Each structure stands twice: as C-alpha cells, then as structure tokens.
Amino acid sequence: MTSPRVSVIVPVFNGELHLPETLDALCSQTLIDIEVLVIDDGSVDRSAQIVRACRDTRVRLVHQDNRGLAHALNRGLAEARAAYVARNDQDDISVPHRLERQLSIMESRPDAKALFAAWTKFGQRRGWANQEKIADHESGTVRESHPFEDGCLLASTMFARVAALREVGGFRQEYYPSDDWDLQLRLCAAGTVLLINEALVAYRLHLGANTYRLFLHDQDKSRWAEDSYRRRLTGATELPFESFVAGSRQRRWSGWTQGITDRAKLHMRIAGQHYLDGRDGAALMHAAMATVLDPVSVGRRVLAIASLFLSAGSL
C-alpha cells in the first residue's frame, strides 16, 4: 500500500455536533493523497458512528479508552503512515487548499521542523479576521516564528514532520490544556519553525469549549511551559507542576496581580465569544469588566484592533 503524503490527526471527544463539517472540509482538500486519522478518545456520543458513516476511504477511525487529548494525538502520531502530519481539532475548519499550501512550503524548506499558519475566528453569527496578532507582516509571508513574539499559535494549523515530533517527544498530557504551547516551545528550541501569514483554518469559538472552563488553569499551565522552556535552555531540570505553582504562590503580590490579569483575559475572551454569536450587550458587559480589571492591557488590545481598521480604511 502506497503511503499518503500527509496524515491528518483529528482528536475527538464527544464531538458529534461539529465533526461532520470538520470531516467534510478535510475530505474536500485540493491535496488528494492524504489520510484522515480520527482518534476517538472514549467518546460517549455519536462521534464514532459519524466517522463510520463517512464513505471516504481515506478516513480511518481509531478508538481508545478516554486518556486525554495529548494521548490521543500521540496515538495518531503512532498510526500516521505519512512523513508529514497536520493537526485539525474536531470543531475547526481547514480551507480547501490548506494541506497543499503547507506541504509545498515544507517541501521547499527541508530545514523546518514544523509550520503554523494564521487563522480566522467564527461563532454563530459573525467571523473575525484575527489579524491584530500578525498585522506587521504582509499577507502570504512565510517567516521563522519566534514564540515569545508570536505567542501560542493555533494548534489546528500545525503541519510538521513526523520525525521532528518524535524527536522532541511528541505531545505531553501533563501540560494539558497548554500542551500545544509546550509542544510549540519544544519545536522552536529544536530547530526552525515557520509561520505563514495566511489564514488556512477557521477556528470555531463556542461557549461549550474547554477554552472557557479551563481558562484560568490554562494560564498556570502556560506559564509552567514557559518556565520549563527556559530551564531547558540553561540545562536545568524542569519543575513538576505542583512545585512551580507553589513557588509562584510564595510571591504573593505578583501572584495576586497575575490572577487579576488572568481574569481580565477571560472576560475579554468571553466578550469576543458573545460578539461572534451576535450578543452585543453581553459582549460589552464582559469587555467593561475586563477593562476594570486590567485597563492597560485591554487598552493596548483595543488600540491594536483600531489601528488595523484604520490602516484597512486607508488602503
């Protein structure tokens, strides 16, 4: 059997609501020579039935008992038959030429370990270009990513060499829900990671996502991933999460102010969700709460977005 050129890993846990649209987008890719590995992490809904009903022979269902997202991704990595893997979460939508575009770039850059892309956001009624994160770069530009300048990039845009992912140890469940940030940092430390300033994935935002339920915990895990990254650079041993958190809490003032900042970020995230869903009153309320908690950071974000609109209007 000839190996596909790209293996797409779709980790699924109770994803029946949006999974059909996600699979349709992957099966409609302009790059035909792919396999789609749906790793069902112990779902109790109709996710498995939806995959089995798919008539595209390139889609393969792999079932495992519920072990967590990173374990599902590592299972997909073990099952992959291609030299490249792309990640696509169960509710995000890849544009038709995504895989073809990313494969072309990676084949032209043998030095690169992985490639991420820009993305759009969408909810029930609206979409958002999300360009304020990459506004300083021309559309279509491919450049080296610098993690602390670009921040955590969308996991669903990741396109990587299988060998590179295995080299850095794959995905680590203990860093969930910041396992994607931990992986990105390890890949950047291992070699070149590229970023294309072209929206290749539509990121679905909905209030049922773990993004909101685990947000504050995610912030702690994100800072732990960054601390581990810096320790690795100096040859120091990574701290267990409990030790890292305990050390942070000893610095009471910084811990208190960090907690306020985290809550402001959460309110801004929820405000964005309400905006995308067309609930403008709720969006304004949460934006106001974020502003009260952290007026400086919220002000900077608003100025970045306003600058984008002004530059777009001047073109």
Mean pLDDT of 212-228: 87
pTM here is 0.88
CATH class of the domain whose range is 6-204: alpha beta
CA pair distance 125, 276, nearest whole angstrom: 6
pLDDT over threshold 80, residue 209: no
Which residue ranges does the chain devote to CATH 3.90.550.10?
6-204
> What's the pLDDT tens digit per position in 60-117?
999 999 999 999 999 999 999 999 999 999 999 999 999 999 999 999 999 999 999 9
Taking the C-alpha atoms of residue 61 and residue 37, their distance in angstroms, rounded to an integer, is 6
Residue partners of 164: CB distance under 8 A and separation at least 6: 113, 114, 187, 190, 191
The residue assigned the tokens 């996600």 is 22
Which of 76-80, 218-222, 293-297: highest mean pLDDT? 76-80
Backbone angles phi and psi of 211, in degrees to 5: -50, -40
> How far is the C-alpha of 145 from the C-alpha of 157, rounded, in Å?
13
Q: What is the pLDDT of residue 250?
A: 58
User: In this prediction, what percent of the chain has a pLDDT beyond 90?
Assistant: 66
Segment 161-180, tens digit of pLDDT: 999 999 999 999 999 999 99
pLDDT, residue 314, reads 41
- In tens, the pLDDT along 254-275 reads 555 777 787 777 677 767 777 7
pLDDT, residue 288, reads 84
Instruction: Flag whether pLDDT at 277 surpasses 80.
Output: no
Instruction: Tell me the range of 146-160, 195-209, 211-225 where mean pLDDT is highest.
Output: 146-160
Question: How many beta carbons lie within 10 A of that of residue 280, not counting itself?
Answer: 12
CA nearest to 168, candidates 144, 142, 189, 154 = 189
